[in-house]
A = this chain, B = another copy of it.
């Protein structure tokens, strides 16, 4: 391993894979993408050209077999994550894996066991932890600026639902979208959730959301430290990406607003207005993707723990499964119901 310049293998050249590739090409200086692999070979090739990546493969195993590659970035479909983690660990590669770590608990637990045995680093892509707003809220909670936390609210609404073909791989609202919020809940409060109750609906009409999946939900969380909280999700906020949190405690409260493209306020004969917030995660969270990747690179180079480990990847999946079950059975579900070991 050349600690001056880590060699990474990128698995998956979709939207998020290309974002990491761009950051590594232009904004991060102590690592680079050495090979990119995608079943869609044309996508892999275009990505390589655009971001100066030396080698291209169709099969990600080419990356695992390459001795020059120190670590992999798993940006493939959610269904393949656990399997690729397992193989990557077996190949001795350090691993950065997009969320979710997997879609079934058995495959996750098998993958985590291999990671542990192989003694490789594993970081899960919960990038929002590295966002300036949420990091500030976490700091307030951790440093006692609001005293003991009592109540939590997370608002997490997308500007518009994904294309219909996306749904077949997404695992649904809870595993695809709310999973970020489950991680955020644990991160902000610093305690584990033990019970979940979820109310959810399909509110968008079929022209907007042809898959007729759940698109609107409120999930109620109970934490070990007594905090109770909610997560509010919608697939379509017409005014744009709505990403806010509030934590209330014995000594005060802290809340965040959305991020906007500018601060201008326009006063007209009709109203006082401002432009809509930054529209989606590629704009809103762009800096957080950069910071999380740097954190992974640092952890590998310095042989230190990653800031979001395999356990942090597993728990939100359990929470998503509990939310699904709670919705299906309309009752509060304890996370211990999933302790099958």
Contact B226 A218 (CB under 8 A): no
Contact B150 A262 (CB under 8 A): no
Contact A251 B269 (CB under 8 A): yes
CA distance A200 to B7 in the complex (A): 51
Among B146, B203, B253, which residue has its beta carbon within 8 angstroms of that of A150?
Answer: B203
Among B136, B263, B271, which residue has its beta carbon within 8 angstroms of that of A256?
Answer: B263
Cβ of A188 to closest chain B Cβ, rounded Å:
12
Contact A265 B273 (CB under 8 A): no
Task: State whether the Cβ of A224 lies closer than 8 Å to any Cβ in chain B.
Answer: no
Among B234, B248, B273, B332, which residue has its beta carbon within 8 angstroms of that of A271?
Answer: B273
**Do A203 and B148 contact each other (CB < 8 Å), given the known contacts A26-B27, A218-B228, A258-B263?**
yes
Task: State whether the Cβ of A60 lies closer than 8 Å to any Cβ in chain B.
Answer: no
Query: What chain B residues lie within 8 Å of A84 (beta carbons)?
Result: none
Task: State whether the Cβ of A336 lies closer than 8 Å to any Cβ in chain B.
Answer: no
Among B204, B230, B239, B269, which residue has its beta carbon within 8 angstroms of that of A269?
Answer: B239
Of residues 247 through 294 on chain A, the ones whose CB sits less than 8 Å from some CB of chain B are 248, 250-259, 261-277
Contact A238 B263 (CB under 8 A): no
Cβ of A59 to closest chain B Cβ, rounded Å:
30
Task: State whether the Cβ of A66 lies closer than 8 Å to any Cβ in chain B.
Answer: no
**Nearest CB in chain B to that of A248: its residue:** B234
Contact B199 A220 (CB under 8 A): yes
Give the copy number.
4
Task: State whether the Cβ of A30 lies closer than 8 Å to any Cβ in chain B.
Answer: no
**Do A237 and B259 contact each other (CB < 8 Å), given the known contacts A151-B232, A228-B199, A271-B276?**
no
**Do A136 and B252 contact each other (CB < 8 Å), given the known contacts A151-B218, A199-B222, A238-B269?**
no
Among B29, B136, B273, which residue has its beta carbon within 8 angstroms of that of A273?
Answer: B273
Contact B253 A262 (CB under 8 A): no
Candidate in A26, A153, A268 with the most chain B CB atoms within 10 angstroms: A268
CA distance A275 to B137 in the complex (A): 12
Cβ of A154 to closest chain B Cβ, rounded Å:
11
Contact B274 A232 (CB under 8 A): no
- Residue numbers of A with Cβ under 8 A of B are 26-27, 29, 132-133, 135-137, 140, 145-148, 150-151, 153, 157, 197, 199-201, 203-204, 216-218, 220, 222, 226, 228-230, 232, 234, 236-239, 242, 248, 250-259, 261-277, 330-332
Apart from A151-B216, A197-B332, A218-B220, what 11 extra A-B contacts exist at CB < 8 Å? A26-B26, A133-B264, A137-B264, A157-B248, A197-B220, A216-B228, A230-B230, A239-B269, A252-B266, A254-B266, A270-B276
